[in-house]
Amino acid sequence: MAIGLQPYNYITSRPDYYSFITDNGAEYICYFSSHAFYFKNYPKLAPKIFDFNIVLKNKGAKVTNLDNRIAATIIKIVGDFLSSKVYAVVYVCDASDGKGLARARKFKTWFNYYEHSSNDIIQINTDMKAGGIKLYVALLVHKKNKLKNKFIEAFLELTDFQDEEK
């Protein structure tokens, strides 16, 4: 993390479910949920793959793109989750409002900017078309995860799928 930049304090209210409030009063909920369904052709990997979600709870809160502590907090949460060296995380950028590419760039930038604090994490970014929508997705896995190559292979195979209506 950047010198002097600390993540927000966050609360873990149940396993894999976190919340934090920014200095501007924006409350974020972050959680991991099973992504196994999408990897059903990989029965040994499927139970170890989770998706990561970030939700702004109070939509009326003042949100600033300049709050780097949000990025520091997200990286800390994801890094702690992956530190077990057992799981992989998939992040799908919400594209419903046309801002999927911007979200993908921001997510990628967060991990690149804080590289020295997230240098144990491999990030694979790609896009795919599903249901007529272009989705931007990322795979995150710990460098020392014994299954990292299998996670990457499965992820790339899955994201290589394209709708027939291309």
Question: By the 8 A CB rule, do 35 and 49 touch?
Answer: yes
The per-residue pLDDT for 164 is 44
Structural domains of the chain sorted by starting position, each given as residue range(s) with its CATH number in brackets: 11-160 (3.40.630)
CA dihedral 70, 36, 94, 62 (to 10 degrees): -30
Distance CA(17)–CA(59), nearest Å, equals 19
Distance CA(8)–CA(23), nearest Å, equals 9
For residue range 85-95, list pLDDT tens digits in order: 999 999 988 77
Question: By the 8 A CB rule, do 144 and 122 touch?
Answer: no
The pLDDT-based confidence of 165 (bands split at 50, 70, 90) is very low
The per-residue pLDDT for 17 is 95
For residue range 96-141, list pLDDT tens digits in order: 777 788 888 888 887 776 655 557 889 999 988 877 888 889 999 9
> For residue 57, what is the DSSP state?
S
Q: Name every residue whose Cβ is closer than 8 Å to that of residue 111 and which is 6 or more positions away in sequence.
A: 75, 118, 121, 123, 140
